[in-house]
Amino acid sequence: MKQIPAIEIENLTKDFRVGIRGVKLRAADNVSFRVEQGEVFGLLGPNGSGKSTTLKIILGLLRPTSGSCRIFGKNSGDVAVRSRIGFLPEAPYFYGYLSGRELVKYYARMSGVPAGKIDERTADALALTGMTDAASRRVKTYSKGMLQRIGVAQAIVHDPDLVILDEPTAGIDPIGSAEIGDAIRAMKSRGKTVVLCSHLLGQIEELCDRVAIMNRGKLVVAGTLDEVLTQRGKQLAVIGAGTPLTPDLVEKLRERDGLNIESVSHPRISLERYFLENLKNK
Ligand SMILES: Nc1ncnc2c1ncn2[C@@H]1O[C@H](COP(=O)(O)OP(=O)(O)OP(=O)(O)O)[C@@H](O)[C@H]1O
Ligand SMILES: [Mg+2]
């Protein structure tokens, strides 16, 4: 039997009225996609393309102008469903006088974690986000990246089935981003569904099962990374070091065998990988 999708949005449209004349701005334009249970799903697109608006509608924080949104098969305003969701907003504001640990405990209490479980769940969330060492410091002394991490910790502390993270790695260094990536993988391995907005495309490629790309409020494409990125019409051959593909040889292959060699390149690692391989724990 096919599982109920974690999220199913259909023909979602959201108009805002902006400026003193109340001009209509269509932030989301007839957007439809599904997120299956247990997958990591990336919602991508340029600034202002409607990602955060779509997430807020999914969370029931904004009402759509038209269209529908269901979470685990229920209306997104349903209280029982809301307690199964964790959310990191794109510009989180936290009360600065609490310590990181107090803040995460506060969210645990607010989202219904049983009293006997609060300390354990808090410690887990702090460990998963790499915030254990800084947990006793006041939030107002945190760097930008530490604020993001404590934000992710509060989003996952009640062990939600669906975690929605709006730019969890904004302002975080590459090693911290990788740790957030590890936390996302850990959630996936426990059967959770994660929806993630990010401009870090390298990380999206590494983490996501499927993506949806928005532009100017419209859905451009949705599918697995393979479906979206593979250029079926082209082939890339990687030749081992023993057979150097010198310019002479390339010319010969072209002339003699009529091979259509468009370009010859060396495989390259991403900058993200370089940071991780060369700078972590050094
Ligand atoms: N409350 C609001 N009132 C009026 N316009 C809004 C409101 N919220 C968002 N918008 C507009 O809707 C459009 C989409 O904004 P949204 O925040 O969804 O974009 P985004 O894809 O999340 O961008 P970013 O990558 O910059 O976070 C923008 O033009 C934005 O100015
Ligand atoms: Mg946004």
- DSSP secondary structure, 21-69, as one string: TTEEEEEEEEEEEEE-TT-EEEEE-STTSSHHHHHHHHTTSS--SEEEE
| pLDDT at residue 281, as a whole number | 63
Query: To test the ligand 1 pocket, which listed residue (12, 51, 56, 165) has its Cβ within 8 A of the most ligand atoms?
Result: 51
Q: For the chain, give every domain's residue range.
A: 7-229
- In the DSSP assignment, the letter for residue 140 is G
Does the C-beta of 218 come closer than 6 Å to ligand 1?
no
Residues 6+ apart with CB under 8 A from 7: 34, 35, 41, 58, 69, 70, 71, 162, 193, 195
pLDDT at 271 > cutoff 80: no
- Quick one: pLDDT band at residue 276, thresholds 50, 70, 90? confident
Q: What is the pTM of this model?
A: 0.86
Is 3.30.300.30 the CATH number for 7-229? no
pLDDT at 1 > cutoff 70: no
State the Cα–Cα distance between residues 148 and 131, nearest whole angstrom.
10
Does the C-beta of 45 come closer than 6 Å to ligand 1?
yes
CB atoms within 10 A of CB 44: 21
The better pLDDT of the pair 225, 104 is held by 104
Nearest CA owner, ligand 1 atom 29: 48
